[in-house]
């Protein structure tokens, strides 16, 4: 009980400092451009750390270690797909999106696509923004659910109260400071996350080697003792089934190719090309270290507790931390795990608010400029936070996480095609963009409803289906003549 109290006090202190830091950064927000995209003036290191904290969230600290604990070496394919996708995005797309955002003077993800394909700009704004806002309602709700689950696991706080606490942590500074507050709080979280993923494996390897009576004294021994499936790169599957296992893991690659708006916005907000190069180097280095650490944490968990020693595989990181470190130090690192979820929730919330405000409400408003625009953006952010929290309370957990499952495939795979073709294929036009978005989302939902997602993941198929539709629509549908105002 004393240890739990120490952890709770440290976590509370951490989040108080996080809220104050976010509010401090919000003082520098003066316009709706500052609120939506930090005035497109982010230093490279800020953009890189924010993008990594947002991109990994609870995945790097809870999900991936949990899967490594449950499956052994098989999870290497997932890590490889993610790492290669992130490297490709930083090396090939980040600086291009930054340059395009400056060229077209855009504040949101959908606004860039709309202005690039100006002949259908109005409809692209509407369709793309509504799609993102709808799905991200559930995505934000899932982060609230994740926060509630973690607080319940650690402190026994009822899940619904945990969801409310999670919301109360992020909402004040997100409403006040918008994108700027979000990215600067992300930086703190990214630093704590990487410290956790470096320190835990190093200490863990030393401890399991020197402590008698554990399930295993090294990672190789732990994987071997856990069973043949843990040492197999395909989970003991062979032939066609092995290929499906590999592709299911690697399929995460396709969602990183510009199709996740919350990540692409970080690229678009970088100050200049020099800072873009610095951001690329930091982002790639962070990723390589973090993914190696996350896998190692899961495998160390097997050595400490055995393959069936934990009732919830996603609790492996907190369990390992509490086993390896003194309570106060463990609490600081555990706060990083909770903060990881916060870094995604606030990013998704401000992205949804900006999409709704800039692309759907602002064009209909008589007052498109001035101080009222900033106030409107803040009011919309508050409203969306309330709606997302209500969804988390009202709808079944299964439904919410099903909708989140659609995000990576339906939005990630679909919009990756839109961004790649927009950047690299001059013939691609506005009508083809609309056809791509609609077909990708419909295919993802229908494929998942059919149950076929369990056989071949839509994270893989949506990318190629949307790509095929994009190519066909580009040649079949005539490009609308002239350029309309986006």
151-191: pLDDT as tens digits? 777 778 888 888 888 888 888 999 999 999 999 999 998 99
CATH of the domain at 358: 1.20.1730.10
- The answer as to whether 459 is a domain residue is no
Q: Where are the alpha helices (DSSP H) in 425-457?
A: 430-449
At 242 the pLDDT is 85
Q: Quick one: what percent of the chain has pLDDT higher than 90?
A: 53
- The answer as to whether 369 is a domain residue is yes
Is the four-CA dihedral 378, 384, 388, 394 of positive or negative sign? positive
- The answer as to whether 152 is a domain residue is yes
Res. 485: pLDDT tops 50: no
Res. 42: pLDDT tops 70: yes
Res. 389: pLDDT tops 60: yes
Cβ atoms of residues 486 and 114 within 8 Å: yes
The model's pLDDT over 281-325, given as tens digits with 9 standing for 90+, comes to 999 999 999 999 999 999 999 999 999 999 888 789 989 998 999
Res. 486: pLDDT tops 50: no
Cβ atoms of residues 53 and 206 within 8 Å: no
Cβ atoms of residues 64 and 78 within 8 Å: yes
Res. 337: pLDDT tops 80: no
- The answer as to whether 440 is a domain residue is no
Cβ atoms within 10 Å, residue 251: 24
Q: Over the Cα atoms of the chain, what is R_g?
A: 22
Q: Within 13 Å and on the Cβ side, how many CA atoms surround 230? A: 23
At 59 the pLDDT is 74
Cα 443 to Cα 477: distance, rounded to the nearest angstrom: 20
At 425 the pLDDT is 95
The model's pLDDT over 195-230, given as tens digits with 9 standing for 90+, comes to 999 999 999 999 999 999 999 999 999 999 999 999
Q: Quick one: what percent of the chain has pLDDT higher than 70?
A: 93
Domain of 61 in residue numbering reads as 2-111+138-396
How many domains does the chain fold into? Answer: 1
- The answer as to whether 450 is a domain residue is no
- The answer as to whether 225 is a domain residue is yes
- The answer as to whether 146 is a domain residue is yes
Q: Where are the alpha helices (DSSP H) in 43-158?
A: 44-58, 64-71, 76-88, 94-104, 109-116, 121-155
- The answer as to whether 105 is a domain residue is yes
């Amino acid at each position: 009980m004393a240890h739990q109290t120490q952890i709770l006090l440290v976590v509370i202190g951490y989040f108080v400092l996080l809220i104050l830091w976010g509010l401090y950064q919000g003082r520098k927000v003066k316009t709706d451009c500052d609120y939506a995209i930090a005035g497109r003036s982010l230093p490279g290191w800020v953009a890189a750390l924010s993008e990594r904290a947002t991109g990994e969230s609870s995945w790097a600290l809870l999900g991936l270690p949990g899967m490594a604990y449950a499956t052994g070496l098989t999870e290497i394919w997932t890590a490889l797909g993610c790492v290669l996708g992130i490297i490709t995005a930083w090396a090939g797309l980040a600086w291009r999106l930054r340059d395009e955002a400056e060229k077209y003077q855009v504040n949101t993800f959908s606004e860039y696509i709309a202005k690039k394909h100006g002949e259908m700009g109005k409809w692209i704004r509407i369709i793309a923004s509504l799609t993102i806002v709808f799905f991200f309602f559930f995505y934000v709700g899932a982060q609230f659910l994740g926060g509630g689950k973690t607080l319940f696991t650690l402190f026994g706080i009822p899940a619904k109260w945990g969801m409310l606490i999670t919301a109360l942590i992020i909402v004040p500074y997100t409403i006040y400071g918008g994108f700027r507050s979000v990215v600067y709080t992300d930086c703190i979280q990214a630093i704590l996350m990487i410290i956790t993923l470096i320190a835990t494996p190093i200490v863990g390897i030393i401890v399991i080697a020197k402590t008698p009576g554990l399930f295993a004294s090294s990672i190789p021994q732990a994987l071997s003792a856990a069973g043949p499936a843990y040492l197999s790169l395909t989970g003991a599957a062979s032939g066609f089934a092995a290929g499906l296992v590999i592709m299911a893991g690697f399929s995460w690659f396709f969602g990183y190719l510009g199709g996740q708006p919350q990540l692409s916005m970080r690229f678009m907000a970088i100050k200049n090309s020099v800072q873009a190069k610095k951001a690329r180097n930091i982002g790639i280095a962070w990723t390589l270290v973090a993914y190696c650490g996350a896998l190692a944490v899961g495998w160390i968990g097997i050595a400490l507790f055995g393959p069936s020693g934990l009732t919830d595989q996603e609790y492996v990181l907190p369990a390992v931390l509490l086993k390896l470190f003194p309570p106060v130090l463990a609490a600081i690192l555990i706060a990083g795990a909770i903060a990881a979820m916060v870094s995604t929730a606030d990013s998704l919330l401000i992205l949804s608010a900006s999409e709704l405000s800039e692309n759907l409400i602002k064009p209909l408003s008589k007052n498109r400029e001035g101080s009222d625009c900033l106030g409107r953006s803040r009011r919309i952010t508050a409203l969306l936070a309330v709606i997302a929290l209500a969804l988390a309370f009202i709808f079944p957990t299964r439904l919410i996480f099903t909708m989140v499952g659609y995000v990576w495939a339906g939005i990630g795979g679909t919009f990756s095609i839109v961004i790649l073709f927009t950047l690299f294929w001059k013939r691609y036009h506005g009508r083809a963009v609309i056809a791509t978005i609609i077909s990708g989302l419909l295919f993802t939902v229908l494929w998942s409803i059919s149950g076929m997602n369990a056989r071949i993941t839509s994270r893989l198929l949506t990318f190629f289906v949307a790509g095929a539709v994009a190519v066909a629509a580009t040649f079949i549908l005539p490009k609308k003549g002239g350029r309309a105002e986006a």
